[in-house]
Structures are given as C-alpha cells and as structure tokens.
Chains A and B, each alone.
Chain A
C-alpha cells in the first residue's frame, strides 16, 4: 500500500460514467440533489417561521434554542434516529440536513428583518403601506443581504455534511470515501474531496453572484 499514488487517472476515466449507480457522475448528481434539497426546504420553512419569530418575539428564544440543540447533535445521531423511520433512503439524510439548514436560516431571517433600519420601517408606515405590502416590498427586500449570507453558510455546510450519509449508503460523493478506506485505495478519496470542495466553491460563487444581481443597492455600502 505504501507506493499507492494519490490519484490513478485511469480509474477515474473508467469510473466517471460507467452507467452504474456507483459511477462518479451519478454520485455527484446525488450529492448535489441531497445537498440542495435541505437548503431549499429549510428556506421555505425558515421564512414563515422567521417572520413568526419577529411578529411574536417570545417565539424566537425557544425556537433558536431548539435549533441550536439540533445543530449541536452529531449528524450521525440524527441519521440513526431517522434511519428507523425512513429507512435506507435519501430522506434519512435530507430531513436531518433540513434541520441543520433551519438552524442557520431562521436566525438569518430574523436578523435580516432586524437589519431593516427603523427610519425605513417607520417611513414605510408613514407613507401608507399596509403591513403585508410593507413586508413584501420593503422589509424582505432590505433583509435580502443578511438572509443570503445565511444561505451561503447553510449551502456550504450542507454540501459538506451530505458525505456523512455514506455510512447508510446515501452519501453522494461521500460513498467514495467508504470505498477508498475499505480498499486502502486513495484515488476515490481524493476525487471525493476535490469534487466536494469544487462543488462548495461553485455554489458559494453562484450565491455571491445572485447577491450582486439581487442587491445592487448594497454593493458599495458593503465594501465601504
């Protein structure tokens, strides 16, 4: 094993798209789906929950506490819990990761709305906005930079956490690690790490781009 190289290109070439479920491209696709679904679900749930936490302040502390406890649980523990409910399926990975995303996104939504300057909120009231329109047209758009910052953290950590699912056979690129360790064969491990890092960098870059496009009004202020 001592002279085993880090990368065997021929193995990569043979296994990139061999048609089977263990092909690297298939694992990559799986990884992307399992990493993004939790962020998507998390955002869909965090928006109304975050709004509720702003509307009813007493709700925020218990919600945040619960989310922080969830976040502190090792992902493996959560996977085992859901294993008994959802079995060896994607859901066993996606559901716990959704909770992790929520732990980041709920505070992001709450902090985002808190970042709306008081003078802006008050002038919206004074101009004659009704509450729903004020939320949609003024408060949420102004909260976007803070929410997007949370979304970047949630996305990157989700991409990295998916690989733990390999322990129940649903880890996307993480499966390459198991394969590599079991055979004391470095190439799949290297491929897995490189692809996960690339995926994270790409996803983060896309979110930064989205932020630029969505909030041209905050660009200079951020760098100032």
Chain B
C-alpha cells in the first residue's frame, strides 16, 4: 500500500503543485489520479518514485518512507510507463523490455528470456523483439512500454498518461488490455490521466484533483458518478452521469422472460428481428453474464418494440427483457438519499478526505 500523508510540493518560485495531499493507494487495485492540467497529478505520481521530492509530508510504500530509500534502488522496484513510451531508440525491443533486469544484474540470457515472455503477455508478436522502436506503431510502442515496466515483476506500477498520445481506437484496446493484464497480475497501479472517461473505465478508485494540487474527491467510479462531492467534480465528470453510471451495474440481475413468438430466429436460435406487418424490425441484444445494465438499456432502446433481446455467448436467444424489467433494476440501484453510501462494489463515498 502507498500512503500520502500531508504531502505538499512547493517550487522555489512559490508555485504550489500539490497541497496537503493525504490519501491511500490500495494494494492490488488501480487508483487513478485525474484532473485538469496543473492539478498536480503527475507531480504526485513522480513523488512516489522520487523523480520529484516532496517539500513536506511523507509518502510511504508498505510502511517505509520512500525518502529513506536510495532513488535508483527504489525506482528499480517500481514499474513506470511514460507518455509516448519513452523507449530507448538505440536498443532493440527485447533489450528495451529487459532494461530493468539488466540494471538488476540479471544475466543477458535470463533477462532476454523474461523479455520475450513479457512481449507475449502484453499481446505483441515475439517477431518484433529484434526490431528498433522506430519500426513500431505508437500503440505497439506503448505495449512495449508496459512490458518494460513489468519486466522485473514490480509490485507497484506507475502510469503517467500512458495512452494519451495514441488514437481513440488504439487507446480503447490498450485500456482493455490493461484491465485484462490487471485481472491476472493484481499489481498496485497508480494511473494518471486528464481524461475522466478513462479514469472511470480503469479505476477501482478515482482521485479527482483540482488546480492547485488539492484532492477534490476520492471514490469508486460509480459513487463518483452518483455522488460528486461538489460543483467542480460534477462539472469535471461532464454530461450523462446517470447513464454512464449504469456501466457499473451488471445486467446479470435483469429479469428475463421467454422470447415471444414474434421474435424471429434462425435455425440455431440466433435472433433475426421482430415480425411486423411490414417485415422484420430492428432489435438490440445484450449478454446478461458479461454486459452492464447500460448495455441492456441500450439494447432496449435499439429495439423497435422497446424489448431487449438477451443472448448467450454464442449469440443464441435466451429470453427477452422489456423496459419494465430494466426499470425494476434501475429502481433498485437508484442513487441513495443524501448522506447514504453507494452500492457495495464501489468506494467509500465522498469527502474532502481520503477514505480511512
């Protein structure tokens, strides 16, 4: 666990980058620092591995004050992914990934074998190992950056706007990949971004920071969306908070009823459309096991008759859910009355202070 205790960073010219920051970064989860530029999120991140030293306050890593640890030694035990990857242009991909193992004195053979495993882990073709960074696309370089950060299997990973320089489609796939990796690796990840959608998608906990380096709110993404602490957070979260929040509710609990006879299916039981006098009409599908309530609602809205079609992993019809069934679940997950806590899966509610 990483803790910030009254951490302040004041520069010589008097600018305060981070002010009295106190928070806890839980072990094995993704904590996102998000906020507009100048909110001190990157400074906060860099104080963890001492690329920047705090002016006052204390940052501890599993109970030990980071300032008691020699910086290079500290850094070799913490993975770091930088914006634009920051790969070494003169080193082949395999050697880029093996950087920290080399620094730790591993043999070349062992370090490279480890690097090859990691390339595979992050979904890169091992055939790229012998290439130089300039021969890779931005998205591939960023994957190499993640592999490099993981090379010595550090328990903590710091990610500084790692996906902000790639196009939206590549960014989405890198985000999905990170979530997949994290479900296997369970690292303690601190992720910095200015993109609130990215924060809400990736974070188990989201710390919203405001200009001047103050923590505005720290909570689970669903709580953040339903109970923003103040106008700043509300504005920063943007539109459609209610809808976006539905992404955090599983569609598993949607009450299904058997498919009615006017739902046309093919011989394998896959939906074809709603029978009407004028032929087949549009339908929307969702998969209860893996989709969110947002997807179920979306499916209902896409259907000509407002009824969402539930399908299994193979796309076969399992039943249907009308708006009534979706409404039922919506009511169950309605935002609590003021002062109440959020749903079980999210963080500890909102306050200026970090959750204890």
Q: Which of A171-187 contact B (CB under 8 A)?
A: none
B86 contacts partner chain A, Cβ-Cβ < 8 Å: yes
B86-A217 in contact (CB<8A): no
The closest CB in chain A to the CB of B100 belongs to A127
B135-A120 in contact (CB<8A): no
Say which residue of A120, A130, A215, A221 sits within 8 Å of B88 (CB atoms): A120
A interface majority secondary structure: helix
B73-A128 in contact (CB<8A): yes
Shortest Cβ gap from A157 to chain B (Å): 28
**Residue among A127, A129, A130, A141 with the highest chain B CB neighbour number at 10 A:** A127
- Cα distance A215–B132 in the bound complex, in angstroms: 11
- What are the interface flags for B70-83 relative to A under an 8 Å C-beta threshold, 1 for contact and 0 otherwise? 01111110001011
- Cα distance A221–B91 in the bound complex, in angstroms: 14
- Cα distance A133–B104 in the bound complex, in angstroms: 13
Say which residue of B51, B73, B82 sits within 8 Å of A119 (CB atoms): B82
A218 contacts partner chain B, Cβ-Cβ < 8 Å: yes
Shortest Cβ gap from B228 to chain A (Å): 33
Shortest Cβ gap from A127 to chain B (Å): 5
A124-B135 in contact (CB<8A): no
A61 contacts partner chain B, Cβ-Cβ < 8 Å: no
Number of interface residues of B (CB under 8 A): 29
- Cα distance A120–B135 in the bound complex, in angstroms: 16
B239 contacts partner chain A, Cβ-Cβ < 8 Å: no
- Cα distance A119–B142 in the bound complex, in angstroms: 12
B89-A126 in contact (CB<8A): no
Interface residues on A, range: 20 to 34
A220 contacts partner chain B, Cβ-Cβ < 8 Å: yes
A138 contacts partner chain B, Cβ-Cβ < 8 Å: yes
B90-A215 in contact (CB<8A): yes
Q: Which of A116-143 contact B (CB under 8 A)?
A: 117, 119-120, 122-130, 133, 138, 141-142
- Cα distance A220–B133 in the bound complex, in angstroms: 11
A216 contacts partner chain B, Cβ-Cβ < 8 Å: yes
- Cα distance A125–B51 in the bound complex, in angstroms: 8
B140 contacts partner chain A, Cβ-Cβ < 8 Å: no
B103 contacts partner chain A, Cβ-Cβ < 8 Å: yes
B90-A141 in contact (CB<8A): yes
Contacting residues, chain B, for A129 (C-beta < 8 A): 72, 103
Contacting residues, chain A, for B76 (C-beta < 8 A): 127-128
B90-A122 in contact (CB<8A): no
The closest CB in chain B to the CB of A119 belongs to B86
Shortest Cβ gap from A204 to chain B (Å): 23
The closest CB in chain B to the CB of A216 belongs to B132
Which residues of A are interface residues toward B (Cβ below 8 A)? 117, 119-120, 122-130, 133, 138, 141-142, 144, 215-218, 220-221
Which residues of B are interface residues toward A (Cβ below 8 A)? 49, 51, 71-76, 80, 82-91, 99-100, 103, 132-135, 145, 148, 158
- Would you mind naming 30 contact pairs between A and B with Cβ atoms under 8 Å apart? A117-B86, A117-B89, A119-B83, A119-B86, A120-B88, A122-B51, A122-B86, A123-B86, A123-B88, A126-B51, A126-B75, A126-B80, A126-B158, A127-B75, A127-B100, A128-B71, A128-B73, A128-B100, A129-B72, A129-B103, A133-B103, A138-B90, A142-B89, A142-B90, A217-B89, A217-B132, A217-B133, A218-B89, A221-B89, A221-B134
